C-alpha cells in the first residue's frame, strides 16, 4: 500500500519485482511441476461452506489477468500474460461464458431495492450507475476512484468484509469505511433492510438458506463475544448471496452438460468443461461446433437463473485463455 503511494523511483521497481516473482513462484513453477505431458489437471473442492467450487494443487483459478511492468532498459511498459500459456488443443477453440455481475444481481433480487432494480434494467456500466446514484451526481461526473470505491463496497457487503479489510483495500481509515458503508446503505435502503432481516432470521434459526434452499448453520450468531458474533453475521449475508450464486452456477453446469450430451450423443469429439472460475465456465470446443455449443451454454446458464430475474451471460472465444474476445452469434 505504501509503495503504491510513494513517489520514490525504487518503489515501482519493487512493485514490478513483486508481481513477476508472484507469477513465477505461485503460478509458473507450480504449474510446470504439475504438468502431465501437455495438460494440467487441477483438483477441486466442491463442498465448501458457501457452496463455491475452489481449486487446489494447482489452483488454476488464481492465474492472474494480464498486467504491465516497466522495462527500465527499454523505457517502456511490457505486458506479462500467464493466461496466454493456456491454449486450446489443435482443432479446438476455448469458449468462456460469464454471468454479468451475478452476485450484485442476486443482491438486487433479494433486497428488492428499487434504485438497484432500475439500474439493472438499463444497459451501461453497472458500477458507474450505482456510484452516480450513491454520490448524487450524473454518470458523466463519476470518477474512476468513485467507481472503484463503489465496486469495493458492493462486494465488501456481499463477501462480508470487515471494516479493516475494506479499509486496507481502499487505502482509507476504518472510520471512513464505516461512514462510506452507512452512506451507501442509506442510499440503497433495500440492501440495509435485507442485511438486517438476514441477520435477524439467522439469530432466530441459527442458519441461513440460499435461493435454492441449501442451508448453512451458524451457531455463533448469538455468541456473547462481539467479534465472533460479528463474523457470523457477515457469514450469514455472504452465504445467502454468494451461496445462491454458487448454486446457480452448479445448476448451470449440470444443465449444460445434459444439453451437450443430448446434442452430441453420437459425436466422438464433444465439447468439454475444462475450467470453473466462480461465475465463469470455460469449455474446449471443436472449431466446427462453436456456434452450436455457445447456444447450449447461453441457454443453460440463463435458464438456471431465470426464476430470479434476468441474468445476462457474456460469451467469449479464443485460441488461448489470454486472447479471448467477445463472441456474437
Range with the poorest average pLDDT among 30-39, 231-240, 308-317: 30-39
Q: Is 9 within 8 Å of 1 (Cβ atoms)?
A: no
Q: Give the pLDDT confidence score for residue 180 in this predicted structure.
A: 80
Q: Give the pLDDT confidence score for residue 314 in this predicted structure.
A: 93
Q: Give the pLDDT confidence score for residue 7 in this predicted structure.
A: 67
Q: Give the pLDDT confidence score for residue 3 in this predicted structure.
A: 58
Q: Give the pLDDT confidence score for residue 257 in this predicted structure.
A: 95
**Please, what is the Cα angle at 130 between 124 and 136, to 5 degrees?**
115
Q: Which tens digit of pLDDT belongs to each residue from 44-78?
A: 888 888 888 888 777 888 888 888 887 777 678 88
Length of the chain counted residue by residue: 329
Q: How far is CA 116 from CA 56, 110, 124, 130, in A?
A: 36, 11, 13, 7
CA dist., res. 96 & res. 86, Å (int): 13
Query: What pTM, to 2 d.p., does this model score?
Result: 0.86
pLDDT exceeds 90 at position 214: yes
Please provide the CATH number assigned to the domain covering 103-246: 1.10.150.20
Q: Give the pLDDT confidence score for residue 138 in this predicted structure.
A: 87
DSSP class of residue 65 equals: P
Range with the poorest average pLDDT among 2-16, 46-60, 118-132, 230-244: 2-16
HEC profile for 9-59?
HHHHHHHHHHHHHHHHHHHHHHHHHHCECCECCCEEECCCCCCCCEEECCC
Q: Give the pLDDT confidence score for residue 128 in this predicted structure.
A: 86
pLDDT exceeds 80 at position 261: yes
For all residues of the chain together, what is the average pLDDT? Answer: 86
Closest CA to 102 of 244, 4, 200, 235: 244
Closest CA to 103 of 251, 253, 252, 211: 211
pLDDT exceeds 80 at position 100: yes
Q: Is 88 within 8 Å of 316 (Cβ atoms)?
A: no
pLDDT exceeds 70 at position 273: yes
Ramachandran region, residue 153 (left: φ > 0; alpha: ψ -120 to 50; beta: rest): alpha
| pLDDT-based confidence at residue 4 (cuts at 50, 70, 90) | low
Closest CA to 314 of 26, 96, 106, 17: 96
| pLDDT-based confidence at residue 6 (cuts at 50, 70, 90) | low
Annotate 131-194 with DSSP letters as a single string.
HHHHHTS-GGG--HHHHHHHHHHHHHHHHT--HHHHHHHHTS-HHHHHHHHHHHHHHTHHHHHH
CA dist., res. 280 & res. 273, Å (int): 11
The active-site residue, picked from 98, 113, 247, 279, is 98
Q: Which tens digit of pLDDT belongs to each residue from 144-190?
A: 888 888 888 888 877 777 778 888 777 778 888 888 888 888 888 89
Average pLDDT over residues 225-252: 92
Q: Is 321 within 8 Å of 86 (Cβ atoms)?
A: yes
The x, y and z cell numbers of residue 299, run together, are: 441457454
Average pLDDT over residues 207-221: 94
Instruction: Map out the domains of the chain as residue ranges.
Output: 2-80, 103-246, 248-326
Active site residue 98: yes
3-state secondary structure of 61: helix
Average pLDDT over residues 314-328: 92
Annotate 96-135 with DSSP letters as a single string.
EEEETTHHHHHHHHHHT-HHHHHHHTS-S-HHHHHHHHHH
Query: Among residues of the chain, what percentage have pLDDT more than 90?
Result: 38
CA dist., res. 250 & res. 301, Å (int): 10
Strand ranges of the sheet holding 280-286, from the earlier edge strand across to the other edge: 272-277, 280-286, 92-99, 313-318, 325-326
Range with the poorest average pLDDT among 243-247, 263-267, 285-289, 294-298: 263-267
Q: Give the pLDDT confidence score for residue 156 in this predicted structure.
A: 80
Q: Give the pLDDT confidence score for residue 90 in this predicted structure.
A: 92
Q: Give the pLDDT confidence score for residue 208 in this predicted structure.
A: 96
Average pLDDT over residues 271-291: 93
Average pLDDT over residues 200-211: 95
Amino acid at each position: 500500500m505504501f509503495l503504491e503511494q510513494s513517489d520514490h523511483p525504487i518503489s515501482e521497481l519493487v512493485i514490478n519485482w513483486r508481481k513477476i516473482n508472484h507469477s513465477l513462484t505461485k503460478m509458473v513453477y507450480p504449474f510446470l511441476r504439475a504438468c502431465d505431458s501437455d495438460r494440467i489437471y487441477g483438483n477441486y473442492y466442491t463442498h465448501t461452506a458457501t457452496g463455491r467450487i475452489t481449486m487446489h494443487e494447482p489452483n488454476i483459478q488464481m492465474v492472474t489477468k494480464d498486467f504491465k511492468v516497466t522495462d527500465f532498459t527499454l523505457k517502456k511498459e511490457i505486458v506479462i500474460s500467464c493466461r496466454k500459456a493456456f491454449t486450446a488443443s489443435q482443432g479446438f477453440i476455448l469458449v468462456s461464458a460469464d454471468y454479468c455481475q451475478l452476485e450484485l444481481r442476486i443482491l438486487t433480487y433479494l433486497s428488492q431495492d428499487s434504485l438497484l432494480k432500475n439500474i439493472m434494467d438499463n444497459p451501461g456500466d453497472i458500477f458507474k450507475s450505482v456510484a452516480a446514484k450513491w454520490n448524487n451526481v450524473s454518470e458523466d461526473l463519476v470518477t474512476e476512484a468513485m467507481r472503484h470505491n463503489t465496486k469495493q463496497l458492493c462486494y465488501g457487503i456481499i463477501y462480508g468484509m470487515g471494516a479493516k479489510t475494506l479499509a486496507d483495500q481502499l487505502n482509507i481509515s476504518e472510520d471512513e469505511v464505516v461512514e462510506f458503508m452507512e452512506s451507501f446503505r442509506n442510499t440503497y435502503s433495500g440492501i440495509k433492510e435485507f442485511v438486517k432481516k438476514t441477520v435477524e432470521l439467522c439469530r432466530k434459526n441459527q442458519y441461513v438458506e440460499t435461493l435454492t434452499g441449501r442451508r448453512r448453520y451458524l451457531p455463533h450468531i448469538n455468541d456473547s463475544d462481539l467479534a465472533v458474533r460479528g463474523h457470523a453475521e457477515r457469514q450469514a449475508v455472504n452465504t445467502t448471496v454468494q451461496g445462491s450464486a454458487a448454486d446457480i452456477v452448479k445448476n448451470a453446469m449440470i444443465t449444460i452438460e445434459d444439453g451437450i450430451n443430448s446434442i452430441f450423443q453420437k459425436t466422438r469429439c464433444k465439447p468439454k468443461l475444462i475450467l470453473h472460475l466462480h461465475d465463469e465456465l470455460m469449455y474446449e470446443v471443436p472449431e466446427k461446433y462453436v456456434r452450436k455449443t455457445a447456444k447450449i451454454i447461453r441457454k443453460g446458464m440463463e435458464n438456471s437463473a431465470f426464476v430470479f430475474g434476468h441474468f445476462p451471460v457474456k460469451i467469449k472465444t479464443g485460441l488461448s485463455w489470454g486472447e479471448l474476445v467477445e463472441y456474437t452469434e
